């Protein structure tokens, strides 16, 4: 009997059953289609070994006039500029105090009232004055961590002995106790937990006004550096806590896996001589407050804005995670933390200089102070902010307001007849979600509508019109522009705008949205991989709090495929020669390079597979025999000396039943090849399979291997039985 060539339709289809999708593909992971045939996707490697603080959800690459390449990296904690594989913190300051506004920095020291209770994990102290809600203490040479405090009984609770060293045998009553935690008093400081402040002008905590006594441990050099706020005192917005550490120890040097980590010898503990307050000339420079890594939904009384619902009803609100928007103003950079401050970084000042607030620039007139997104219009060179405060309501955010400065200006925001500054207000929806620039216009998304903003010249400068209503967008990162089209994920649909809004027919829609954590929908991020004509959407599956799945639309082949991969933001190649993405492991990765997973050291194999839907002989009313297969798979470009993949056939007797097992159901063979002779494959595989239908699966978990499937041939014969 002649061999049967297996020719499959490109793309994955999960909108029908496997049986009804005969001749198509049904499942995949880490594969793509080129020219209609499936192949393994490219690998990824760490861009740099440095990690950053917080989850990254914003990347922006650009080149200065002197050809210096920069990369903007916005995280939930910081904004960095990368140059030469080094991250520099340029997070803008929201507040610089006057000398003395910080009235005190206090240390705590005391003695043990009784021996440490190891079984109850408690330490009973003579006093807990100035102790933080949680922190570290030192008794003798032993460092101890405590998780909470009982101020009524002066007990440290949930203690862990020997944090940075050996555990001491015992500590008797009367032993001296010092703490690394310092209590800072600053009226209405406005800082939140995990935010950052840099002190200057502080004196040593043993300085009684006549020079440093040098008998204390907390010196001026220890105090006068950058700190992360460990706790804000409950019920007292004027007090927060930091952990004293060795002088000249930078936050960057303590950054590990996305958090500030204290090691042995890093923390400095107070003694009884550290009884002063740091003097009367302390200055604090507060960076913009850190944001959330996750969206947090709140329920109940007090949630949501006033008058948002009827009396005595439960209201749900979402505390949004930290998202940055950014754009270039020439070779300089504008940055905006969503629903927060707007910053400006000047290239000529270097990466050791922080961004400054836009409204603090010399000559600034009515500059916005809060916004959802910032953009520089490529065609007409206007700085535009979305969801901002108005000219007459500076400081009060209007989530539907759009403002733009005078052309080519950062500072002139006042609407006048002699300039092109102005403002517009979107007429529908409750807030602007995002804006995307195309070649001809700016698309503005609200929670329920889409609008076109176009440059029309004087006297109005910009005009805005409604394109569509009744549409949704998953979040502020869910849309991407491709030439003059925009693709985006909605709350239960995919859309494209290319002159008009259309719903994208999607053959994997149910697969995506039936396994989706809608509480974290803001994390959806769209990315363009132009080399392969792909739009990627990363999203969190139902049981995940971070993006762990992706779905791809190939806009040239008009097909869909999907898989699993953790990425929080994506940037296409351009200034950088390779696509780049950030992972939840607090690192950046170059993509489409090599064939392996570079998140491990050494790199590990990428597990990739694709499986077909069921294939019948005739109408599936007869049993068939599979006795031979001639594989058609190439390992071209693999760097392994012995590349291979698994070729598996599964059989079924009835569409509604699972695949049969062993000799009655499946056989797995290794298809071997050679990198020296590309066409050298296993010539044929002998099978002994029986069933009414079968499916084909290709998978690989080998390092340095890539593969592409063609059209294998199979010897299929009816065995005469029904």
697 cis-preceded (ω within 30 degrees of 0): no
Task: Count CB-CB contacts under 10 A for residue 373.
Answer: 26
| Model pLDDT for residues 167-204, shown as the tens digit of each residue | 887 888 999 999 999 999 999 999 999 999 999 999 99
Residue 487 confidence (pLDDT) above 50 = yes
Q: Identify the three-state secondary structure at position 128.
A: coil
459 cis-preceded (ω within 30 degrees of 0): yes
Strand partners, 342: 336
Nearest-CA neighbor of 271 among 404, 149, 138? Answer: 138
Structural domains in the chain plus CATH codes: 4-43+607-718 (2.60.120), 56-92+318-593 (2.130.10.10), 102-287 (no CATH)
Strand partners, 40: 31
| Model pLDDT for residues 538-550, shown as the tens digit of each residue | 999 999 999 999 9
* Model pLDDT, residue 160: 94
Q: How far apart are CA 542 and CA 349, in angstroms?
A: 46
Contacts of residue 225, Cβ cutoff 8 Å, sequence gap at least 6: 198, 199, 247, 248, 249, 250
- What percent of the chain has a predicted confidence (pLDDT) above 90? 74
The bridge status of strand 596-598 relative to strand 44-46 is: parallel
Phi, psi at 220, each rounded to 5°: -65, -40
Q: Answer yes or no: are the C-beta atoms of 334 and 377 closer than 8 Å.
A: no
Query: Which position has the higher pLDDT, 262 or 680?
Result: 262
Q: How far apart are CA 322 and CA 721, in angstroms?
A: 64
Strand partners, 95: 286
Radius of gyration, alpha carbons of the chain: 31
Nearest-CA neighbor of 100 among 226, 199, 182, 236? Answer: 199
Residue 133 confidence (pLDDT) above 60 = yes
| Model pLDDT for residues 562-599, shown as the tens digit of each residue | 999 999 999 999 999 999 999 999 999 999 999 999 99
Q: Identify the three-state secondary structure at position 665.
A: helix
Nearest-CA neighbor of 626 among 701, 718, 722? Answer: 718
* Model pLDDT, residue 185: 97
Segment 455-468 shows an average pLDDT of 92
Which pLDDT band, with edges at 50, 70 and 90, does 297 fall under? low
Q: Residue 524 class from Cβ within 10 Å (0-12 exposed, 13-18 middle, 19+ buried)?
A: buried
Segment 386-398 shows an average pLDDT of 97
Strand partners, 503: 495
Contacts of residue 305, Cβ cutoff 8 Å, sequence gap at least 6: none
Q: Identify the three-state secondary structure at position 258.
A: coil
Segment 588-616 shows an average pLDDT of 95
């Amino acid at each position: 009997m002649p061999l049967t060539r297996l020719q499959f339709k490109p793309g994955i289809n999960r909108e029908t059953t496997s049986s009804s999708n005969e001749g198509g593909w049904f499942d995949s992971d880490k594969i793509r289609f080129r020219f209609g045939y499936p192949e393994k996707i490219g690998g990824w490697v760490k861009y740099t070994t440095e990690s950053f603080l917080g989850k990254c959800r914003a990347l922006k690459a650009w080149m200065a006039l002197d050809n210096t390449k920069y990369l903007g990296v916005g995280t939930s904690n910081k904004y960095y500029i990368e140059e030469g594989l080094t991250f520099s913190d340029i997070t803008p300051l929201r507040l610089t105090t006057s000398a003395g506004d910080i009235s005190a920095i206090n240390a705590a020291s005391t003695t043990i009232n009784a021996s440490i209770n190891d079984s109850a994990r408690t330490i009973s102290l003579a006093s807990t004055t100035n102790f933080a809600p949680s922190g570290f203490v030192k008794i003798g040479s032993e460092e101890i961590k405590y998780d909470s405090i009982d101020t009524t009984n002066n007990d440290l609770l949930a203690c862990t002995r020997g944090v940075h060293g050996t555990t001491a045998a015992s500590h008797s009553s009367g032993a001296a106790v010092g703490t690394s935690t310092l209590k800072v008093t600053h009226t209405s400081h406005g800082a939140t937990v995990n935010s950052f402040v840099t002190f200057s002008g502080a004196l040593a905590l043993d300085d009684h006004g006549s020079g440093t006594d040098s008998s204390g441990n907390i010196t001026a050099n220890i105090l006068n550096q950058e700190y992360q706020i460990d706790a804000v005192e409950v019920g007292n917005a004027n007090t927060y806590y930091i952990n004293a550490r060795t002088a000249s120890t930078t936050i960057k040097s303590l950054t590990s896996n996305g958090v500030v980590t204290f090691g042995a010898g890093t923390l400095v503990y107070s003694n009884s001589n550290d009884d002063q307050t740091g003097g009367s000339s302390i200055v604090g420079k507060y960076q913009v407050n850190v944001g959330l890594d996750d969206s947090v939904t709140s329920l109940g009384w007090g949630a949501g804005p006033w008058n948002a619902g009827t009396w005595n009803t439960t209201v749900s609100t979402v505390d949004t995670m930290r998202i940055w928007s950014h754009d270039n103003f020439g070779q300089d950079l504008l940055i905006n933390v969503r629903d927060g401050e707007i910053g400006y970084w000047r290239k000529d000042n270097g990466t050791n200089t922080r961004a400054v607030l836009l409204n603090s620039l010399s000559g600034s007139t009515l500059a916005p102070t809060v916004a959802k997104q910032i953009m520089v219009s490529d065609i007409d060179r206007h700085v535009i902010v979305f969801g901002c405060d108005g000219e007459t309501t500076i400081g009060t955010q209007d989530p539907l307001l759009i403002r733009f400065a005078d052309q080519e200006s950062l500072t002139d925001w006042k609407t006048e007849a002699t300039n092109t500054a102005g403002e517009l207000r979107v007429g529908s929806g409750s807030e602007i979600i995002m804006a995307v620039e195309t070649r001809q216009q700016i698309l503005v998304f609200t929670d329920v509508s889409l609008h076109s903003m176009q440059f029309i010249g004087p006297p109005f400068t910009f005009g805005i019109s409604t394109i569509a209503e009744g549409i949704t967008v998953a979040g502020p990162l869910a849309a991407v522009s491709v030439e003059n089209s925009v693709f985006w994920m909605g709350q239960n649909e995919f859309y494209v705008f290319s002159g008009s809004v259309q719903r994208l027919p999607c053959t994997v829609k149910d697969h995506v949205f039936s396994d989706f954590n809608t509480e974290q929908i803001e994390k959806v991020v769209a990315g363009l991989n132009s080399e392969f004509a792909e739009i990627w959407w990363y999203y969190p599956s139902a049981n995940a709090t971070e993006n762990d799945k992706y779905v791809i639309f190939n806009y040239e082949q008009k097909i869909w495929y999907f898989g699993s991969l953790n990425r929080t933001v994506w940037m296409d190649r351009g200034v950088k020669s390779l696509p780049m993405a950030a992972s939840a492991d607090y690192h950046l990765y170059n993509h489409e390079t090599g064939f392996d997973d570079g998140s491990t050291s050494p790199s590990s194999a990428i597990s990739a597979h694709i499986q077909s839907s069921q294939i019948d002989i005739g109408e599936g009313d007869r049993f068939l025999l599979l006795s031979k297969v001639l594989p058609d798979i190439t390992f071209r470009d693999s760097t392994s000396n012995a590349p291979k993949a698994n070729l598996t056939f599964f059989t079924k007797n009835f569409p509604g039943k699972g695949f049969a097992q062993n000799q009655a159901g499946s056989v797995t063979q290794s298809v071997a090849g050679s990198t020296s002779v590309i066409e050298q494959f296993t010539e044929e595989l002998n099978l002994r399979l029986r069933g009414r239908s079968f499916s084909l699966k290709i998978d690989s978990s080998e390092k340095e291997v890539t593969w592409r499937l063609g059209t294998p041939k199979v010897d299929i014969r009816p065995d005469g039985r029904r």
